[in-house]
Structure 1
Amino acid sequence: MNTKDLAYFQELTIQKNFSKVAEIFEVRQPTITTAIQRLEAEFGAQLVIRDRVHHSLTITPSGQQLAEHAIRILRDLSMAHQEIQNLVQNQISLGLPPIIENYYFPKIAAKLKAKRLLRNIITVEGGSVDLRKGLLAGNMDMALLGSIEPLSYANLMADEFDRHPFYIFVSKNHPLADRKRVFFNELRHDDFVLFENSFVHNQAFNKLTRRNHFRPDVVFRSNDTHIIMKLVAQNVGITYLTDIVDHQDNVVRLELMDEEQPEFITSIVYRTSHILTPAQLQLLTIMHATLKG
């Protein structure tokens, strides 16, 4: 079976149009038609029904079943290409959310350099939510991820190594700046500056807003910690971050007094199906020894 035929078929189930699929793959339409015919001969079943009068296309039950398998086959094939490419190039792709990168990566960088591994590390930055999806898709070999619950996925191996509380950060000119502790409910009338939605901080924040029954006024979102802190320093709004973030002298950290607060959990994560290379095993050993020590 030609895996390209599966790629054509999968796109056809989305577009429902042979011409559009041919345009996407930059091939002639007969190429798509022939690919579908090969698949139908391979599986001995009609996969699509074309209504030329009404210019419509229907995916048959057999086609729907094949489409489910095609998604997994093409994903696994793409993952295999990426993993083998990294192996051949002796590269390790490591997913790192910005706060985790700033706080934890310097702790292991010197040891990676001593083992001559540092130059082989390619970092992939983003929020923990997006990085977890990217890890499952094979876009990276392993990651350090944040979560508010222990990670439990059938396809991922997660090894927790640290936990930290969340805090409220306000400008030194904010009315609450002279306080050391606050209840989250006291912040219902404040403006917030927060991370983009791909960051796990939002899950913790939303959990508290639901518990306290108010809809926060989020005036700005960013994926840059330094921008968020600068805006807080200028009293544009307050923010909700873990205590491992770097903050400026003119920003005040306030402890939350609410019971059963979410915690920022950090874990070393990689796919259960991924066969670790010697270099990746070295990286894993260094991270375990340093971050869990």
Structure 2
Amino acid sequence: MIKIIECPRDAMQGLSNFIPTQTKIEYLNLLLEVGFDTLDFGSFVSPKAIPQMKDTKEVLAGLNLNKSATKLLAIVVNKRGAEEAAKYDEITYLGFPLSVSETFQQRNTKKSISEAKLMLKDIISICKENNKEPVVYLSMSFGNPYNEDISFDKVLKMALDLKEMGVKIISFADTIGKASVKDIQDLFEKASKILPNTELGVHLHCNPNMAFDLAKASLEAGCLRIDTAIGGLGGCPMAKDDLTGNLATEYLIQALTDLPAFRPSINEDKFQEAVAFQKRYIG
């Protein structure tokens, strides 16, 4: 059975119009009833950098978690954000973006890759002290817009470094939508051989006409942790000026119809409610 990581945080963070806090709370509470494994719900970052997420703490306070088995993930980019997020018992995972692109690491966190790794060590320690699990996103795993020559060998070397640091969940991220079906197959074939005891995931930004094929390719490559966003909304505002949206949850669920053994239990009625809400109030 695969883990669907629904990412309303990534879906909303690049929108220029601020979504009211109560609207976010209503949307996330709907998502909590769907049956996703994890909800990437918010981030503890500077409101100057990501103004859409400035109300993460208020949103968290409004969530109905008592009847949901869905776990919460929050994105952090520094020690201060990790310390703040770790205070909340409701949060299970702290997600950290580490890039294989030096340029993107600077744009995203204003640090070099080596500096970001040192920061990550602090975050891992904070996770251990507070019963949280770190999740590292290897941004730009499938290419970048800066003409940097980055091979899968470099991506896998960084993944091995993360394993040695104690990271048990690594998600290969296609930040700008360059991945092909073959890229996904090749990377996961190599990664599964050298990282047998690591939970490997994929976080794809892609054009809608590629979404179904990439979702199916991820499943067939043995990826059992897939990030999605309803409607394919979102993209990384720190990567480049134009956004490439997320892999749409609808396409992943469609791809799973041919693989019933891998399909998680989803409340279809609540899922359709969430889709309708997203179209009307979010996207």
Which TM-score band (shorter chain)? under 0.3
- The structure that has the greater radius of gyration is 1
- Which structure has greater strand proportion? 1
Structure 2 length normalisation: TM-score?
0.25
